[in-house]
Amino acid sequence: MNPSLIPAPHTLVVHDGAFELTPRTAVHAPECHATGFLTALLRRATGYALPAASEGALRLSLDGPEELGREGYRLDVDTEGVRLRAHTEEGLFRGVQTLRQLLPARIESPRPCPGPWPIPCVSITDAPRFRWRGVMLDVARHFFDVEAVKRFIDRAVPYKFNILHLHLTDDQGWRLRIESHPRLTEHGATSQVGEGPGGHFTQADFAEIVAYAAARHMTVVPEIDLPGHTQAAMASYPHLAPDGADTGLYRGMKVGFSQLAVHKSTTYDFLDAVFAEVAPLAPGPYLHLGGDEAHQTSAEDYAAFMTRTIPLAAGRGKTVVAWQEAAAVPGLPEGTHLQYWRPAREPVAPALADAASRGLPLIMSPADHAYLDMKYDDSTPLGLTWAGTLGVRQSYDWDPEALVPGARVVGIEAPLWTETLTTPDDLDHMLYPRLPGLAEVAWSPAARDWASYLPRLRAHTLRWDAAGITSYHRSPELRED
Exposure of 149 in the CB half-sphere (CA atoms within 13 A): 29
- Closer Cβ to ligand NGO, 109 or 389, answer by number: 389
Give the Cα separation of 421 and 167 in Å (integer). 14
Nearest-angstrom CA–CA distance, 118 and 102: 8
Binding residues for ligand NGO restricted to 382-441, rule: CB under 6 A: 384, 417, 419
Q: Quick one: which of 206, 286, 371, 432 contacts ligand NGO (CB under 6 A)?
A: 371
Binding mask 209-248 for ligand NGO (x = CB under 6 A): ----------------------------------------
Q: Are 469 and 432 in contact (CB under 8 A)?
A: yes
Q: Is 341 in the site for ligand NGO (CB under 6 A)?
A: yes
Instruction: Please report, to the nearest 10 degrees, the dihedral formed by the alpha carbons of residues 254, 152, 161, 30 taken in order.
Output: 150
Of 58, 43, 38, 55, give the one whose Cα is nearest residue 98: 38
Residue 417 vs 443, nearer CB to ligand NGO: 417
Q: Is residue 368 close enough to count as binding ligand NGO by CB under 6 A?
A: no
Q: Does residue 117 interact with ligand NGO by CB under 6 A?
A: no
Judged by beta carbon, residue 90 or residue 419, the one nearer ligand NGO is 419
Compare residues 117 and 341 and give the one whose CB is closer to ligand NGO: 341
Find the residue with minimal CB distance to ligand NGO: 417
- Whichever of 154 and 346 has its CB closer to ligand NGO, that residue is 346
Residue from the set 73, 250, 275, 323 that interacts with ligand NGO by CB under 6 A: 323
CA Rg value for the chain: 23
Residue 419 C-beta: closest distance to ligand NGO, Å:
6
Choosing from 186, 293, 325, 419, the catalytic residue is 293
- For the purposes of burial, counting CB atoms within 10 Å of the CB of 277, is it exposed (0-12), middle (13-18) or buried (19 or more)? middle
Among 71, 90, 368, 373, indicate the residue that binds ligand NGO (CB under 6 A). Answer: 373
- Of 373 and 426, the one with the shorter C-beta distance to ligand NGO is 373
Q: Measured between alpha carbons, how far is residue 228 from residues 104, 291, 299, 305, 462 in Å?
A: 48, 7, 13, 11, 43
* Residue 143 binds ligand NGO (CB under 6 A): no
Closest distance between ligand NGO and the C-beta of residue 295, in Å? 11
Q: Does 32 bind ligand NGO (CB under 6 A)?
A: no
Q: Is the separation of the CB atoms in 70 and 88 below 8 Å?
A: yes
Residues 6+ apart with CB under 8 A from 252: 172, 193
Q: Between 35 and 258, whose beta carbon lies closer to ligand NGO?
A: 258
108 is catalytic: no
Residue 462 sits in the site that holds ligand NGO (CB under 6 A): no
Is residue 144 a contact residue for ligand NGO (CB under 6 A)? Answer: no
Neighbouring C-beta atoms of residue 159, cutoff 10 Å: 22
Cα separation of 34 and 39, whole Å?
9
Q: What is the contact mask toward ligand NGO in residues 283 to 322, using x (rule: CB under 6 A)?
A: ---------xx-----------------------------
The yes or no reply on residue 207 touching ligand NGO (CB under 6 A) is no
383-421 core/surface letters (b: 16 or more CB in 10 A; e: else)? bbeebebbbbebbbebebbebbeebebebbbbbbbbbbb
Site residues (CB under 6 A) for ligand NGO, limited to 248-267: 255
* Nearest approach, Cβ of residue 272 and ligand NGO (Å): 24
Identity of the residue, 140 or 274, whose beta carbon is nearer to ligand NGO in the bound complex: 140
- Nearest approach, Cβ of 222 to ligand NGO (angstroms)? 15
Backbone phi and psi for residue 441, each to the nearest 5 degrees, phi listed first: -55, -40
Number of residues that bind ligand NGO (CB under 6 A): 10
Burial class (CB in 10 A: 0-12, 13-18, 19+), 196: middle
Round to whole Å and give the CA distance between 70 and 123.
19
**Which are the contacts of 99, defined by CB distance < 8 A and separation ≥ 6?**
38, 75, 82, 84, 119
Applying CB under 6 A, which residues contact ligand NGO? Answer: 255, 292-293, 323, 341, 371, 373, 384, 417, 419
Annotated catalytic residues are: 293
